[in-house]
Amino acid sequence: MPTFTYTARDQNGKMQEGSADAENAQILARRLRERGLWVQKIDTGGGGRDVKTKAKKATGLEMNQPRRKKRFGKVKAKDLTMFCRQFSTMINAGVSMVRCLAVLEQQAGSPNLKRIIREVAYSVEGGETLTRSLAQFPRVFNNLFVGLVRAGEVGGVLDETLDRLATFLEEDLKLKRKVKSAMTYPTIVMVLAILIVIGLVTFIVPKFIQLFKDFEITMPAPTQFLISCSNFMTNPVNDGVLIVTVILLVVGINRLKATKTGKKYYDKLMLKLPVFGMLNHRIALARFSRTMSTLMTSGVPILQALETVAGAIDNEVLSTSILDARSAVREGERLGEPLERSKMFPPMVVQMISIGEETGSLDSMLAKVADFYEAEVDALLESLTAALEPVLIVFLGGVVGFIVVAMFLPLVQIINKLAS
């Protein structure tokens, strides 16, 4: 078995030199990496350059050269949750940071997450903190994620923070799944209704129109309206104009939402919609309370927590209110007072926050508020789903019934004409 000499840097940035026996350079590099060492060079008699190249390939690192930044796609919330949970368990068990990342890279099910963990491991091996390493990927690790990890690193409770972050991601994912599952049935019914109507108007109605023209009868108003719709839908030019209009409308709305002012007006409109506005408001309040509670429990300062929450709730109207509250808190006010002035937070939320500030248990009070509003969202989703089912059935029946009646009115005239 050949003997190799190596130069490596430990987690404190100190250089270490030594020698070790291994089957080949790749295996030695992997062993050194598992020990938390960042390999700089591996040499053997007469083959140092070649072995060094092999070591680079084995560790996945371009040693002594700056690594070019790469773009990575997004990672699913469930993959991030599993990442946090496993990371927390290994840190709690005393496994070194680099070894944790190496194991997590192997266990990651998402190819994107696997590559990102490899990049994070490279950065940590180079002496960067975990916080700064994660911050290089804002599309995957948002401000909330990075802020919690920073608090865990500074406070020496990274394992607890990661576990708390995993719990937060699970609760957030559970809330999103509830909303999606509640909207799935109405969406399917609406899509089917639209497809049925398009099929009737473009394939069935034209055959009746030809029949009516042969008998030269006066068309009733409902039938004339249906014929006009059918002529419009069966014209390829009109179809092209309609499709282009829809695409431009969708692109325009997305472009508008991408601007701060447009997003603010869009979110304000979403909050004023009947029924759905109340649902959006409660979801935003639940997200605010849960995120704020998680940050406060992890030891994040209140000003930094408010700034992080403002960017995490995805509602520009509430975000503005939270940032205004942050400015007031910085000037010496209590948190409950500016939130009450904003009129965006119900009295119950304001009172719970005020009590939490007075008793020094703001984090637990916010957790109770989050539990309350998540239960409210569940109840509202159930009632909304129950109410939408008959409404959609009546709507679909009404549209199909109108088409049937509009087609049968001229048939009655034809039958009377033939009978006479």
pLDDT in tens, 24-62: 776 777 677 766 666 777 776 444 444 444 444 444 443
- Model pLDDT, residue 256: 83
3 state SS for the chain:
CCEEEEEEECCCCCEEEEEEECCCHHHHHHHHHHCCCEEEEEECCCCHHHHHHHHHHHHCCCCCCCCCCCCCCCCCHHHHHHHHHHHHHHHHCCCCHHHHHHHHHHHCCCHHHHHHHHHHHHHHHCCCCHHHHHCCCCCCCCHHHHHHHHHHHHHCCHHHHHHHHHHHHHHHHHHHHHHHHHHHHHHHHHHHHHHHHHHHHHHHHHHHHHHHHHHCCCCCHHHHHHHHHHHHHCCHHHHHHHHHHHHHHHHHHHHHHHCHHHHHHHHHHHHHCCCHHHHHHHHHHHHHHHHHHHHHHCCCCHHHHHHHHHHHCCCHHHHHHHHHHHHHHHCCCCCHHHHHHCCCCCHHHHHHHHHHHHHCCHHHHHHHHHHHHHHHHHHHHHHHHHHHHHHHHHHHHHHHHHHHHHHHHHHHHHHHHHHC
pLDDT in tens, 366-381: 989 988 988 888 888 8
Fold of 77-170: Receptor-associated Protein (1.20.81)
pLDDT at 112 over 70: yes
For position 248, what pLDDT does the model report?
A: 92
In the chain, domain spans: 3-59, 77-170, 173-420
pTM recorded for the entire structure: 0.65
Domains 77-170 and 173-420 share a fold: yes
We find that the CATH architecture of domain 173-420 is: Up-down Bundle (1.20)
User: What is the reported pLDDT for 10?
Assistant: 65
pLDDT higher than threshold 80 for residue 400: yes
